[in-house]
Structure 1
Amino acid sequence: MRALIVDPTAPGRLRLGEAPDPVAGPAQVLVEVRHTSLNAAELFFAQRAEPGEVIGFDAAGVVVTAAAGGGGPAVGSRVVGFAAGGGFGALRAMDVADVAVVPGGVDLGEAATLPVAAGTALRALEQAGPLLGRRVLVTGASGGVGAFAVQLAALGGAYVIGVAGTEESAQGLIGLGAHEVAIGLAGVTEPVDVVIDTVGGDQLVDAYALLAPGGTLQSVGWASGREASLPVGSTLGSPIPQTLVSVYNGTGLIDRRAQLDRLLTLVVAGRLRVPVGWRGPWDKVADAVEALSSRRLRGKAVLDVG
């Protein structure tokens, strides 16, 4: 099959090439991939994967072989799903538990952005607890995870503060549901109850210092590529602020189908917008990688397969 394969000599370490067709297990569907989505985590894994490997988490397309064990979508169904690798191939085997049927009227390319970015934002906010009336700060709010976190927090009844790196990247955050927009954290002076941090490094430390007593910080990304060093004892409630820090690491059991069904329902209802900042054919993956790695990308990058 055609696939984006890892190539250390290629720009972005990914190029269009050939890879073996996947073989679906009894509890898997085989999907003809129409669209996939580029995430920051894939830039990380592209640096560490073996040459010729097919990485990629998100994929949306059409079922060409139903699960032999039953229980999954039928042949011809439009689906979106997640798996640990293989998303950058023209064919992909996915567990039926990690696949959801995409309703008519929802663009498959936009659906492809949901598993990692929107799913991460949703789970982090759920781990933070009830949102109604709470102050939620989202760093890297113009990015893929951040833009979904802003919207989902607002839908949960929170007062949302979106933090961006520049005035340009901050454009549109109010339209996504942010009640307040800040360029960096210097302008945020009031305590917050929840932090959804996608940046890491010093910004994570500074955001942690803004937490009200009993607040929670969900670390869901590391766009800065820098280490974060919290004050000694601060995670134990001493010194002030007395807070609870919760680091979301993306592991553990997830009901992926239920999660995707919830997100797709919001998209169909027009309550959740899919922010796409770059979209193009998959042979232009180097352009998408450059936009994401340079932090110029606002929203998600969608690769159209074929």
Structure 2
Amino acid sequence: MKAYIPTGHPGRTVGLGEAPQPEPRADELLVKVDAYSVNRGETFLLEDPPPGWRPGKDVAGLVVQAAADGSGPAVGQRVVAHPPASGWAEYVAVPASAAARLPEQVTTVQAAALPLAGLTALRLLRAAGAVAGRRILLTGASGGVGHYVTELAAAAGAELTAVSRSAERGARLAGFGATVVPEVTDAAGPFDLVLESTGGRALPLALKRLVPRGEVIWFGQASREPVTLDFFDLLRGPVSATVRHFSYADCDRPPAADLRTLVRLVATGRLHPEIGLVADWRRTPDVLTDLRERRVRGNAVLTLS
């Protein structure tokens, strides 16, 4: 089968080549991929790819071989899936516990934009607890996770301030009910909760805007700059503030359960994937360049059909 394989070259990090068709385990489906989306984290991994690894965590397509143990969707059903890797290919093996059936209202292009960003947003808000009526500051709101967090939190009754340098992107977030500011320093506060995904200087600046006993949940470092916290700044800041790390993978629920929730929200018009680019999968290397240079707003989805 055809699949994208890391090249190890910085200028063109993947190339379309040949790979063996997957042989699913008893608890895995074989999915014929119709569409996949690209995550910024995958573009970072492609800079120094692990041996034997192929990219692809967000896919949608058709089940052509059901799990031998009888779990998961059946042959002929369209699914959205979150494999560990290797989804930028004609076929991918996916654990049945990481796939959810698609209703006819949801396209494979929409579905491909859901898994990593949608799962992160859903689980992040679950970790934060009840958000209705709480004042929340969200940094790094221009990304896919920020989009989903904004829509879900605002719909749940949060008083959300989103940090986005892009005026175009900010208008989209404001449409969900968020107050949008270009920098953390422009956020008035104080806030009960900060959801921080930028790293660098953003985290200590956000920490200063907490109420006493407020909380920062740190779930990313999009700036790729390390965070430095000054202990004396902490003493002069909010009383008994908490900084907590979050990983979307640290969850007892299988991805399928949360994927079904995301699909249901899309099907009922309560969640709207933002698709910034749809292109033929042969354009993947060029799309990766566009993503790294931030020329794509929202998800980039590549289609095989």
User: TM-score normalized by structure 1?
Assistant: 0.93
- For residues 27 and 127 of structure 2, the distance between their equivalents in structure 1, rounded to whole angstroms, comes to 29
Moved more, 295-304 or 78-87: 295-304
| SS of structure 2 residue aligned to 1:71 | coil
Structure 2 partner of 1:190: 189
In the alignment, structure 1 segments of 5+ residues that lack a partner are none
Query: How many percent of aligned residue pairs carry the same amino acid?
Result: 36
| Alpha-carbon offset, residue 64 of structure 1 | 0.2
Paired residue for 1:146?
146
User: Matched residues in 2 for 1:100 and 1:234: separation?
Assistant: 46
For 1:201 and 1:214, the matched residues in 2 are separated by: 23
1-structure distance, mates of 2:162, 2:42? 25
Q: Which runs of 5+ in 2 are unaligned?
A: none
1:249 and 2:255 matched: no
Q: How many angstroms apart in 2 are the aligned matches of 1:294 and 1:153?
A: 29
What amino acid does structure 2 have at the position aligned with 1:174? Answer: A
Tell me what 1:181 maps to.
Answer: 180
Q: Give the secondary structure class of the aligned counterpart of 2:123.
A: helix
In structure 2, distance between residues paired with 1:101 and 1:114: 13
Q: Which moved more, 1:23-32 or 1:41-50?
A: 41-50
Aligned 8 A contact 2:214 2:238 in 1: no
Alpha carbons of structure 1 residues 72 and 133: separation in structure 2 relative to 1, 3 Å: same
CA distance, structure 1, for counterparts of residue 285 and residue 217 of structure 2: 30
Letter in 2 for 1:224: S
Q: Kindly indicate whether residue 203 of structure 2 is the aligned counterpart of residue 212 of structure 1.
A: no
Q: Are 2:4 and 2:15, in contact at CA under 8 Å, matched by a contact in 1?
A: yes
- The answer to whether the 8 A contact 2:133-2:158 is kept is yes
How far off its partner does 1:10 sit?
A: 6.6
CA deviations on 1:269-304 (whole Å, 9 max, x unpaired) are: 101011111221111112321222123332111111
Contact 1:59-1:80 at 8 Å conserved across structures: yes
For 1:226-265, list aligned pairs within 5 A: 226-232=225-231, 238-242=235-239, 243-252=241-250, 253-265=252-264
Match of 1:6 in 2: 6
Other-structure match for 1:128: 128
CA 1:92 to 1:185, structure 2 compared with 1: closer, same or farther past 3 Å? same
Cα distance change on mapping 1:241 and 1:185 into 2, 3 Å: same
Deviation at 1:111, TM superposition (A): 0.5
Other structure's SS at 1:186 match: helix
Contact 1:234 1:241 in 2 (8 A): no
- Aligned Cα root-mean-square deviation (Å): 1.8
Query: Which has the larger displacement, 64-73 or 189-198?
Result: 189-198
- The TM-score with structure 2 as length reference comes to 0.93
Give deviations 1:181-227, integer Å, cap 9, x for gaps.
10112221221122222221111221222122232222222221101
1:295 aligned residue: 294
Q: Is the CA contact (8 Å cut-off) linking 1:5 and 1:51 kept in structure 2?
A: no
- Which string of whole-angstrom CA distances, capped at 9 and with x for unpartnered residues, describes residues 15-43 of structure 1? 22111111100011100011111011101
Q: Check the 8 A contact 2:144/2:274 in 1, yes or no.
A: yes
Q: Deviations over 1:136-155 (max 9, x none)?
A: 22222121111111011112
Number of the residue aligned with 1:119: 119
Task: State the Cα distance separating 1:119 from its structure 2 match.
Answer: 0.7
Q: Distance in 2 between matches of 1:247 and 1:239?
A: 22
AA aligned opposite 1:116: L
**Conserved 8 A contact 2:142-2:166:** no
How far apart, in 1, do the equivalents of 2:283 and 2:302 lie? 8
State the distance in 1 between where 2:232 and 2:55 align: 39
Displacement of 1:173 after TM fit? 1.4
> 1:67 Cα deviation (Å)?
0.5
Change (3 A) 1:233 1:156: farther
